[in-house]
Every structure is written in C-alpha cells, then in structure tokens.
Amino acid sequence: MKLISFSSQFQPLIEQMGAELSEFDIVVKPRDPIEIELEGAGLDVPLHDVAPIGGLLSYAGLQVVLYIPDQGRNIDKVFIDGWSYGKKVHVADCKVLDKMRMQNRFERYRAVANTSGRFEVFGTSYKSGRDVQGVAELRACKVCLKYLNYQGYVTEPGKQNEILKNFNLEEFFLSYSTLFKSLPRSLRHKQGGYSSDWSKISKALREKRNWRCESCDLSLAKHRHLLDTHHVNGNKADNDESNLKALCKDCHRKQPMHDHMGISSEHMSTIQRLRNEQGVLGGDETWEGSIELVDSSFEGLLRLCKTHKKPLPEVGYDVSDSRGAVLVQAELAWPNDKYAVVMDDKEKQLVESVGWRCDTLSEALRTYQ
Ligand SMILES: [Zn+2]
Ligand SMILES: [Zn+2]
Ligand SMILES: [Zn+2]
C-alpha cells in the first residue's frame, strides 16, 4: 500500500508558515484492522509469527509487546499488585521467548501495541473458585531490558532499579521509532500547549540561529523542517529568547522530558547523512559524543560496545561500492575491520555485497547477550 505523504508536496508551504509538523503527524493512511486490534486489547498470536526487528518484537510490521493474559490462580493478587505478581511483559526478543519457542508453547501470548501500560488479564479466582477477568498493570521483563541494554540497563551500574521503576511503554516505543513504519496512533498527536504566535516566534529564532542546531551544530538551511525550536524550561508558553533553542529533530528528542517525541527513519537518516557531509560526526570522537549522536535504537548496543572495549565506531557511515556510489548508511561501522551494524537484512545484504562483514542490530545485540 502506498503511503500518501503530504510532507514533500506541502513542504515549501509548511516552511513558509514556519510550522513544525512532524512526519508522524502528517502521514495519512487508512487504518489497517490488525493495527486497530493491536492498539486496542491486542491479538492472540502464535509466537513464531512475531518477527524480531532490531532486537524488538514486531507483528505485521508494527512494533508490539507480548504478554500472557492467563494469570492462573494468581489473578486475585494480580488485580491488587500486577507489577509484583503478574507475569512479565516482553518488550524485546529475549531469551525467555527463545525458550518458549523451542518448547512450542506459542498459543499463550498476546501481542499489543497499546502503550497505556494496562493489560487485559484473566484467571481463576483463588477465593471464589470462579473465572474472572479485568485489567492490570504489568511490569516489563528484566531479561528484555538487559538484552537491549535499554537506557544503559546493563552498562550503567546502579541504575537498574530506577530504569525498571520509571519504565513506560510510550517512551520505550518512541526510543525505537526509526525501526518501524509507523508509531501507534496514541503517540502521534502528543504536542500541544503552544501559544498562538508560536510558528512566527519559532521561525524567527531558527532564522536568527542561521538554521543551525545549537547542540550538534548541523546546518539545516536546506532542510528547515528538520530543525525545531525547543523550550529549555519545558514551559511552551514561555517564549523568551533565553528559553528557546534551535535543535535538530534528533538532538531535540534527546532532551530531558522529551519522551513524547519520535523520529522517522527517513528523517533520522537525512540528519545522519547531513552530519556526515558537514563533518559534524567526525568532530567529536569520543564515546559520549557518539552516544549523543547515534540513533536511539542503537544506543543500547553502542553502550555495550564501549563496555566490551571495542574500538570507537563511526556513526552513520556511508558504505560505498568500488565506484564510490553509496550503497547504504550503516548506523555503526568499523571501516578498518570492514564491519558494520545495520537495521535489517536488506541493508546487511548490501553491505556484504562489497566484502564487508555485517550484523543486523538484532544479531549484534545477541552477541553481547
Ligand atoms: Zn523478556
Ligand atoms: Zn542536532
Ligand atoms: Zn523541546
């Protein structure tokens, strides 16, 4: 199905208005019935139909998480404290799921793309002996967080409890927005609270900053829609110049309290390509600098590379053929070793076609598991 995108057609107009529409807001497409179910109560799915993408779980091309609705005799306790007593929610393609696949216990799982953190559950009440159903809050599986090294779950010592406690699915889905074709509907329209003259103010500020990101120094004069205006103190009504910063969409989403922002893979790869062309990526050859610039989907892996004392990789590296034509932009590359890590199998084949070794993100995460 072809996506109808207004972004290219109306881009000059949008820019003239200084508006800040993001890709996820302006892509219009008819809703798929599977998508509606996944974003609602979920779908019971055989485990072997759930495909790993970038170490995460996908069903019908959409990001999902998996849980077991049947809580058995624990159901009374699950209603009271689902976090402690409920079965855990798998947010990634972790080892526990591998084991389940091997044992062929595949009919018990339900896939959901609902980011509310509340799940439909059922079981047999210990007290009444009857079958009961309802909604409970369930906690994320620790093995999954470990596998992804989510927010540095493995590599930032002492932060595990905090990461687990603060884990929320909205933020989680948005961190990996580049890996999937679309975000759940509930996450697409999260902006609001701007003053009525905001588009004018925003445009004036970005113009004054010469259409340059104040964090990574990328010039976006020719891609103005990729430059946002950020409110430093978080108050969207406070448009004093000292409270405003021009930031590219990637640096913007990495600001504190910006877990409402995602970025499409198209926008991310444009930003990485421009950073490459403008030498922004080469400027800061440190682990911290690279962690700041990498696509969030690869952040967990990059932190693992650091801990495992791998040499510092290039971020957003163009792998070219013998005539110098760029075949693919590898998110992480070690050109001296002719080795790269990319999003998916399609990119992997391209990288391997020029004699490099290559892993997908899923495969690279596995080697550190
Ligand atoms: Zn898990
Ligand atoms: Zn930036
Ligand atoms: Zn902001």
pLDDT tens string 135-176: 999 999 999 999 999 999 999 989 999 999 999 998 899 889
Spacing, Cα 11 to ligand 1 middle (Å): 41
CA-angle at 186, arms to 184 and 187, nearest 5°: 75
Residue 111 Cα to ligand 1 midpoint, Å, equals 13
Q: Name the closest ligand to CA 87.
A: 1
Spacing, Cα 201 to ligand 3 middle (Å)? 14
Calculate how far, in angstroms, residue 2's C-alpha sits from the geometric centre of ligand 3: 31
Reply yes or no on whether the pLDDT at 55 is more than 80. yes
Ligand with an atom nearest the CA of residue 232: 3
117-147 exposure pattern, b = at least 16 Cβ within 10 A, e = fewer: bebbbebbeeeeeeeeeeebbbbbbeebbbb
* 95 Cα–ligand 1 center, Å: 7
**pLDDT computed for residue 77 by the predictor:** 95
Q: Which ligand is nearest to the CA of 193?
A: 3
> Which stretch of 31-35, 220-224, 278-282 has the lowest confidence by average pLDDT?
278-282
Secondary structure percentages of the chain, helix, strand, coil, to 5? 40, 20, 35
The stretch 5-31 carries a mean pLDDT of 47
Q: How close is the Cα of 90 to the center of ligand 2, in Å?
A: 32
Which percentage of the chain shows pLDDT scores above 70? 88
Q: What is the pTM of this model?
A: 0.74
Those residues whose beta carbon sits under 5 angstroms from the ion ligand 2 are: 213, 215-216, 248, 251
Report how far ligand 2's centroid is from the alpha carbon of 220 (Å): 9
What is the whole-number distance in angstroms between the Cα of residue 193 and the centre of ligand 3? 12
- Quote the mean pLDDT of the chain: 86
Instruction: Report how far ligand 2's centroid is from the alpha carbon of 79 (Å).
Output: 44
Q: Ligand 1 (ion): which residues have CB within 5 A?
A: 90, 94, 96, 141, 143-144
Q: In this prediction, what percent of the chain has a pLDDT beyond 90?
A: 57
Residue 363 pLDDT: 94
The string of pLDDT tens digits covering residues 102-125 is: 887 655 899 999 999 999 999 999
Sign of CA dihedral 331, 223, 3, 320: negative
Angle in degrees, 0-180, between the axes of helices 361-368 and 299-307, rounded to the nearest 10: 40
The predicted structure's pLDDT at residue 106: 53
Least confident of 88-92, 190-194, 282-286: 190-194
From the CA of 213, the nearest ligand is 2
pLDDT digits (tens, 9 = 90+) for 245-277: 999 999 998 888 776 778 888 899 899 889 888
Among all bound ligands, the one having the nearest atom to the CA of 247 is 2
Written as six digits, the tokens of 212 are 């340059």
> Which helix H or strand E contains 137, and what residues bound it?
strand 131-137
> How far does residue 146's CA lie from ligand 1's centre (Å)?
9
CA of 345 to the centre of ligand 1 (A): 23
Q: Which pLDDT value is given to residue 170?
A: 87
